[in-house]
Amino acid sequence: MFHVHPSYTAIVITDPQNDFLSPEGKGYRLTEGVIKRYNTLENLELLMRTALYKGYQLFISPHYIYPHDYQWQMTGTEQNMLLKLGVYQKKDAYTPPTPGGDWVPSLAPYILHNRTIIATDHKVASPQTNDLVYQLRQQKKENVILAGVLSNVCVESHMRDLIENGFQTAVVYDATATISERDFQAAVTNYQAFSSATWSTQEALSQL
């Protein structure tokens, strides 16, 4: 049974950035259909706003691509897609990201809330390459409610890695989006196979 409480449950959002979630984003044409079908953006905002209101802590796991990342010698399909699209661009660690890599405006107030923790950026899809797990441990979080993009890439990879790290994990499936209905349904199938709970946004809100 998956139980939640603000003291030990975190809300983790992957990649709440413009490139796949906002109409001006470089990858939005790929995700637009799923976003509109499931009201992903509205559901993300509702989840984040309600969680903060009820005392839960948000953890953000962003994705950035730097100029030197284009020199990678061992890339897979997902990395090549992101590099080709030119999404999540950031000049260096000291410079703000390009508009596509910036926060979705409707989500920014919750991301920049003083209780929200923004992890370092992950490099492929999972939190193995950032400090999310460390940040969760430091706040004594045991359970995670997960949402964001892309459903079958970063969200699913985060789910699998967090479970392997001992976190009981639920996924809010309609607060995620990806590049096709087929990929979305494949992700949901895997959420149901691995996570402790697979909820709609309304189901998640009823648990908070």
Domain containing residue 93: 9-207
DSSP bridge partners of 198: 171
Per-residue confidence (pLDDT) for residue 203, from 0 to 100:
98
Task: Mark out the alpha helices in 76-170 (DSSP H runs).
Answer: 77-85, 108-111, 132-138, 156-164
Q: What is the pLDDT of residue 17?
A: 99
Quick check: is 4 in a domain? no
- Asked whether residue 52 is assigned to any structural domain, the reply reads yes
Q: Does residue 150 belong to any structural domain of this protein?
A: yes
Q: Where are the beta strands (DSSP E) in the chain?
A: 9-14, 57-61, 117-118, 143-149, 168-177, 197-199
Tell me whether residue 42 is in a domain: yes
For residue 124, CA distances in Å to 15, 72, 138 come to 12, 12, 23
Task: Please give the structure tokens belonging to residue 172.
Answer: 């809010």
- The arithmetic mean of pLDDT across residues 123-139, rounded, is 98
**Domain-embedded: residue 143:** yes
pLDDT-derived band at 8, boundaries 50, 70, 90? very high
| pLDDT value of position 97 | 96
Please report, rounded to a whole number, the percentage of residues in the chain having pLDDT higher than 70: 100
**Strand 197-199 to strand 57-61: parallel, antiparallel, or no bridges (unpaired)?**
unpaired
In a domain, 1, yes or no: no
Q: How many domains does the chain have?
A: 1
Residue 197 is assigned to a structural domain of this protein: yes
Task: Count Cβ atoms within 10 A of the Cβ of residue 105 and give its class: 0-12 exposed, 13-18 middle, 19 or more buried.
Answer: exposed
* pTM across the whole model: 0.97
| CATH number for position 197 | 3.40.50.850
pLDDT single digits (tens) 86-113 = 999 999 989 999 999 999 999 999 999 9
Cis peptide before 150, with omega less than 30 degrees from 0? yes
Q: How many CB atoms lie within 10 A of CB 196?
A: 15
- Please write the tens of the pLDDT for every residue from 25-66: 999 999 999 999 999 999 999 999 999 999 999 999 999 999
Mean per-residue pLDDT over the chain, rounded: 98
Which amino acid, one-letter code, is at 205?
A: L
The pLDDT of residue 36 = 99
CB 4 within 8 A of CB 146: no
Residue 78: CB atoms within 10 Å = 15
Question: What is the pLDDT confidence band of residue 1, given thresholds at 50, 70 and 90?
Answer: confident
Provide the pLDDT confidence category of residue 11 given band limits of 50, 70 and 90.
Answer: very high
Domain assignment present for residue 58? The answer is yes
| CB count in 10 Å sphere of residue 23 | 9
Residues in Cβ contact with 78 at an 8 Å cutoff, skipping those fewer than 6 apart: 124, 125, 153
Local structure of residue 205 (DSSP, 8 states): H
pLDDT of residue 194: 98
